[in-house]
Amino acid sequence: MEVSSECQLQIRLITKQGLYAVPDVPLSVPQTIDTKSLNDLVNQLLKEANPEFLKPKDFDFIVIGELLRVPLIEHLQERSVSTEVTVEIEYIERTPAPEPEDSLLHDDWVCGVQTADKWILTGCYDHSVNIWTTHGKIVTSLKQHTNFVKAVAWIDKSDPSKGFVSVSHDLTGIIWSIEPGTDKIVPEAILRGHERGVDSVGVSPNASRLATGGWDTNLKLWSASLEEDEPALKRSRGGNAALVKTPLHTLKGHKEAISSINWLDNHVVCTASMDHTIKFWDAELMGIKSEIVGQKAFLSSSWSHLSNALLATSADRHIRLYDPRSSEGAVCKTTFTSHQLWVGSVTWCGYDQHLFLSGGYDAAVKLWDARSPRAPLYNLQGHQGQVLSVDWSNDKYMVSGGSDNSVHIFKNKHV
Amino acid sequence: MGNKQKTEKNLKRRIVKETAKLESESDQSDEEDFLNVVNNEEADSSDGDEEIEDSEDENNEFTEEESEADSDVLSAGGGEEEDADEESEDIDDSEDEEIDEESEKDESASDQEDESSGEEELQNESDKVKTKPKKGSAIEKTSDSSVEKTLNKSKTTIDSASIANVFHEYDHDTSDEEDIRNTVGNVPMNWYDEYKHLGYDWDGNQIIKPETGDQLDAFLKKMEDPDFWRTVKDPQTGQNVVLSDQDIELIKRIKAQKIPDVTFDEYAPWIEWFTSEVEQMPLRKFPEHKRSFLPSRHEAKQVSKLVHALKMGWIKTRAEQAALRAKKEPEFYMLWQTDDGAEDMRRIHKHISAPKRLLPGHAESYNPPPEYLFDAKEIKQWNKLKNAPWKRKLHFVPQKFDSLRKVPAYPRFIKERFLRCLDLYLCPRAIKMKLNIEPESLVPKLPSPKDLQPFPNVLAIEYKGHTDMVRSISTDKSGQFLLSGSDDCTVKVWEVNTGRCVKTIVTDSVVRSVEWCPNAALSLVLVASGQEVMLINPNVGDFVVSSKTDSVLREVPKSDAAVPERVRTTVQWAEPDEARYDRGVRISLQHFKEVTQVTWHGKGDYFASVMPDGQNRSVIISQISRRRSQLPFTKSKGLVQCVLFHPTKPCLFVATQRHVRIYDLVKQTLLKKLLTNSKWISTMAVHPGGDNLLVGTYDRKMLWFDLDLSTKPYQTLRLHGTAVRGVAFHRRYPLFASGSDDRSLIVSHGMVYNDLLQNPLIVPLKRLQDHDDFNDFGIFGVHFHPLQPWLFSSGADGTIKLYSN
């Protein structure tokens, strides 16, 4: 690359954060300017505009829709953009690095994690479902399952008192409820109907229905309500034992195990499967709405309600961003590559449409910006083995569980 | 000049002559005159008549000529004339010879006319006339004879005769056609309207127009002159000409559209010189030869040659040629041939032209630059190489001469030319057809691995937990669990997707072979541990299935049939005790020798176990549902290494050290014996289609047998450096893999086509080398995921690795 360092580029700095606005004038900067120099430049400009702006801030720069990670000229040349015109550079306040908060030690691998408010729900390979506080105190450990607990989910993330659900390789799922007044947690209903291990569970946004899927390739829909007037409910043997529920609907369509379930809204379920497909089901009409065919077995997926895009991980080291609405071109919009091994789980951030979290079998948890496909924003280190589950349900905490028998909590300083 | 003009001219002449004769009243015939007119140039100036001279130039001239002619004719008789033309000579010759005949004819002619001629001159004339067409002869005779007697009449007749004569005599004399009196040539005469004269004569004098009178004169003339009506004006000379009777006659005949020649007989009898009738009889006396009726063989040959050439397109029909010509674009060619281009030889195909001689350089010059001249050292060098002249740089010593003149003859010229001739003569002069085969071109064109995706190529998960070599691995039908058997006497069940060890089953001995039951309704795995073969319920996955399996196996079928002694001593079925039952063991078969391999039949009811040391009892086929074993073979064929059930047919593949035998289990016969050409077979795998078999050997080879094709290997793959210990086919994807002691796992594309004519396509894709070696062992077990394009390998380092695409 024969770029002389004297060459200048015309740039224009823009931002959507009014707090950090700088005069909208084209600036001439060296071609090889990188993020750090730009950062200094913006801080300098801010200081000139506002003398009270004392504490320098860190900014990230977005050029042509992607975060700047290399010198500007290389970034432009990679995308074959002319250097003759004025380059618009949008800058945003840099996402601050998450801080490791705590590590919750379990007896066995942790496969399912979900937070709600200050409670962290974990499913463990020692057949237990545990609730921890965000401060690392164990609240309770429930051993009702007879096999690995593969996934857990709060019925209502905003209101943990409504209970939660866990699914296991013992072919059942259990809806747990918290008895009002006390902290006692009892299994409210047992979801019985799967023929093979259940791998994933999803709760509809209105908390009325559950969807589970597993190795028997069927998607099963359940009612999340605990009213006893529903048919086919019966008390299992023993007085205080839970109800046994049967699925409202069984949706067949996948050829192999369903590995991940997301509710798009109250009527649409999205399932990712090992048979290389992602299917969108209509939960009202009980049929397949649409389908995305991939190249490899899907391991995990996450739907963003903010950007209406689907993140999915396959049996490879990439995370793929799908836009199911796009009709022309590839459905796969972006591929995020940084993990070394399979990516076991992925989840969107709840408040920013660009941020998401991923955990891989290479023991790495990575915080990504969707505009930076080459490199993540941060690597969250701490795990010793495969990361099996990540969660960012509570905006303040990024939680991950893995095969090192621990759950790591990272505090998000952005919120 | 047209005929009309000619006649006019002649008429004029005649008229002039007539007048001249009338005036001079000479007795001489006009014929002579005319002869002399032609020869006038050599005529001497002689006694010309003055009277004539004063009348007109033309007349004058003529009269002169006439007089000259007279003398000529006279002299001609004596033969004195020097330059007499040929014709007159001829006439003279004929004169003497044909005198008699002519005189006879003359007589007869004169009889008719009642006139006789005795004069020699006249006779001569008539003789001359005689050589000409006969028709005129009579007239001539009359005219000749009548010359003296009736002047007027005879003159006219003689004239006409003479005209005829002259015409024939000087047919080719073109000077006759021109108007010799007027030299202006062929110009419109009205150009002279303003002048007194009308052109110029030969001497350059003006030809004065005749005086033309006014109308009164014309009228008077008309009244007085009886010949007025036959007087015409000669446009060339402006003279009045009186037409003779004969002219009138001629004109009349022409007008009447008759043949102008009076003497021509239109109705003469027709003489048919060449007959128009077709003769009936041939002119040849002998009949046609038989040969002429037979088709000619030679011609047939020629015709067939032509037809063949037409067919082959060597020659073209005219239409084709025309089409070609029409199509052909202008051809361009080099005006001068280049030196380097091979010249075309018509007869020698691919002729190599003789190499060109090098052009002489400076050294060859008679006066070379001084640096080319040899110095003492070079001379020494030259002399040193006397015995090896081919090593010399130059084949001569450059010499310097003052001038080209002083250069002596080159003494070796003849010899060198001769040597070159020899070279050319002995040189092979045709291009030798040499077949050049690049080694690369012999390698079959294989598709690029990129196009054969998906195949496992990346290490995804390691399954760690075994403490010793993992000899055998297997997966359940859905691909959720992986089974492994190790030398640490344990069998482990793993969760494929996470690498989690789900279950560990401890056995009593080294586990050499494990296999998951292909029947999805049974939760059973087959484990060969030491001398024992165990059926273990791993109790993972669907608990309904596993509990059902337990209940099914608990019911031991009662059979009265006595177990044969031979079988009983080989294998004994046993129910496990409580402790082992809790470990999952459901049925145990105690063998009399160490079991190295077990394999399920596709339905999951039968299984076979191999004891290489068992000699003729080395293969046992057992049936779970009836708790029964049988020994299919009575004779030992060798050390059995491996057995496999055919995936669809009731066939059994038995691999001994050197051969693979295929038995039909129903008919209990040997179907095929595959010749491996290797020393020691280690393992084999059968393609899910059942028609292809992959055999791995300890001598580093992998053999692909196409069972429909031959009993010899379709392809021998030497991909590994050491013994091949594990081979496997994928059940869905066209993939196979092999693992060997050199720690490498090689994934290959093995496409089998339904089309019987198309041979399997085998493309090695990827070498994966992640296992550590242990005691010189590398990879033992190779197994594909049943649904995904993933590959498991178990190694001597105690790990199992999953490779994903």
Cβ of A364: how many Cβ atoms within 10 Å?
A: 22
Same domain, B198 and B161: no
- Give the nearest partner residue to A297 out of B458, B478, B788, using CB atoms: B788
Q: Which residues of chain B have pLDDT under 50?
A: 1-4, 6-7, 11-12, 15-166, 176
Same domain, B518 and B608: yes
Chain A interface includes B732 (CB < 8 A):
no
What is the distance, to the nearest Å, from the Cα of residue A92 to the centroid of all Cα atoms in its chain?
Answer: 22
**Residues in chain B, how many?**
805
B485-501 residues labelled b (16+ CB within 10 A) or e (exposed): bbbbbbbbbbbbbbbbb
Give the Cα separation of A381 and B639 in Å (integer).
Answer: 56
Of the pLDDT bands very low, low, confident and very high (cuts 50, 70, 90), residue A229 is: very low
Same domain, B397 and B482: no
Same domain, B492 and B606: yes
Backbone angles phi, psi at B155, to 5 degrees: -60, -45
Cβ-Cβ pairs closer than 8 A, A with B, add up to 61
Same domain, B74 and B168: yes
| pLDDT value for B4 | 47
User: Tokens 């303040």 — which residue?
Assistant: A396
Residue of A258, A274, A293, A405 best to disrupt the B interface, most CBs of B under 10 A: A274
Same domain, B22 and B101: yes
Same domain, B600 and B715: yes
| pLDDT value for A390 | 92
A316/B461 CB distance under 8 A: no
Judged by phi (left if over 0) then psi (alpha if -120 to 50, else beta), residue A207 lies in left
Range of the domain at B54: 3-177
* B330 belongs to a structural domain: no
How many domains would you assign to chain B? 4
| Per-residue 3-state assignment (H helix, E strand, C coil) for B445-473 | CCCCHHHHCCCCCEEEEEEECCCCCEEEE
Q: Show which of B177, B208, B231 is a domain's final residue.
A: B177
Task: Show the tokens assigned to B210.
Answer: 């005749």
| pLDDT value for B421 | 87
Q: What is the pLDDT of residues B180-228, one digit of tens each?
A: 677 777 788 888 888 888 888 888 888 887 777 788 888 888 888 888 8
What is the distance, to the nearest Å, from the Cα of residue B715 to the centroid of all Cα atoms in its chain?
Answer: 42
Q: What is the pLDDT of residues A321-374, one digit of tens each?
A: 988 887 666 678 889 999 989 998 999 988 888 889 999 998 889 999 888 888
Task: Find out whether A368 and A319 touch, Cβ atoms under 8 Å.
Answer: yes
> Cα-Cα-Cα-Cα dihedral of B326, B328, B333, B335, to 10°?
0
Cβ of B462: how many Cβ atoms within 10 Å?
A: 15
Q: Strands B458-464 and A234-235: what pairing?
A: unpaired
Same domain, B172 and B196: no
- Give A413 to chain B, closest Cα distance, Å: 32
B461/A341 CB distance under 8 A: yes
B480 CB neighbours in chain A (<8 A) are: 196-197, 215, 257
A19 pLDDT more than 80: no
B542/A195 CB distance under 8 A: yes
Same domain, B792 and B736: yes
* B466 belongs to a structural domain: yes
* B316 belongs to a structural domain: no
- Give B460 to chain A, closest Cα distance, Å: 6
**For residue A341, what is the nearest residue in chain B, using CA coordinates?**
B460
Q: Give the CATH number for residue B687.
A: 2.130.10.10
| pLDDT value for B180 | 61
The DSSP element (H or E) to which B146 belongs, if any, is: helix B137-146
Cβ of B576: how many Cβ atoms within 10 Å?
A: 17
Same domain, B167 and B196: no
**For residue B786, what is the nearest residue in chain A, using CA coordinates?**
A256
Chain A interface includes B541 (CB < 8 A):
yes
Of the pLDDT bands very low, low, confident and very high (cuts 50, 70, 90), residue A159 is: confident
Highest mean pLDDT among A16-20, A223-227, B156-160, B664-668: B664-668
Return contacts of A125-129, CB within 8 angstroms, 24+ apart: A125/A149, A125/B500, A127/A168, A127/A170, A129/A164, A129/A166, A129/A174, A129/A176
A344 CB neighbours in chain B (<8 A) are: 498
Task: Show the tokens assigned to A65.
Answer: 């829709």
Q: What is the pLDDT of residues A69-116, one digit of tens each?
A: 888 888 888 888 887 888 888 888 888 888 888 888 888 899 899 988
Same domain, B117 and B193: no
Q: Show which of B227, B243, B259 is a domain's final residue.
A: B243
Give the Cα separation of A149 and A128 in Å (integer).
Answer: 7
* B226 belongs to a structural domain: yes
Task: Find out whether B805 and B732 touch, Cβ atoms under 8 Å.
Answer: no
Task: Show the tokens assigned to A399.
Answer: 């939680």
Runs of H (alpha helix) within B528-621: 543-554, 565-570, 578-583
Task: Find out whether B503 and B492 touch, Cβ atoms under 8 Å.
Answer: yes
Same domain, B395 and B467: no
Residue of B480, B539, B790 best to disrupt the A interface, most CBs of A under 10 A: B480
> pTM for the full model?
0.64
Cβ of B189: how many Cβ atoms within 10 Å?
A: 15
B458 CB neighbours in chain A (<8 A) are: 316-317
Q: Which domains does chain A have, with CATH numbers?
A: 8-93 (3.10.20.90), 99-411 (2.130.10.10)
Give the Cα separation of B606 and B626 in Å (integer).
Answer: 10
Q: What is the pLDDT of residues B62-73, one digit of tens each?
A: 444 444 444 444
Q: Show which of B133, B157, B177 is a domain's final residue.
A: B177
Chain A interface includes B480 (CB < 8 A):
yes
Interface of A with B (CB under 8 A): 109, 111, 125, 148, 170-171, 195-197, 215-216, 256-257, 259, 274-275, 295-297, 299, 315-317, 341-342, 344, 361, 386, 388, 403
Backbone angles phi, psi at B714, to 5 degrees: -70, -40
- Going B172 to B174 to B177 to B182, the CA torsion angle's sign is negative
A295/B790 CB distance under 8 A: no
| pLDDT value for A2 | 44
Give the Cα separation of B205 and B178 in Å (integer).
Answer: 18
* B597 belongs to a structural domain: yes
A122 pLDDT more than 50: yes
A257/B805 CB distance under 8 A: no
* B435 belongs to a structural domain: no
Report chain A's mean pLDDT, rounded to a whole number: 84
Q: Is the peptide bond before B454 cis (omega within 30 degrees of 0)?
A: yes
| pLDDT value for A228 | 52
Task: Find out whether A221 and A202 touch, Cβ atoms under 8 Å.
Answer: no
* B325 belongs to a structural domain: no
Q: Which amino acid is at B528?
A: A
**For the purposes of burial, counting CB atoms within 10 Å of the CB of B602, is it exposed (0-12), middle (13-18) or buried (19 or more)?**
middle
A315 CB neighbours in chain B (<8 A) are: 460, 788, 790, 804-805
| pLDDT value for B346 | 63
Give the Cα separation of B538 and B584 in Å (integer).
Answer: 6
* B87 belongs to a structural domain: yes
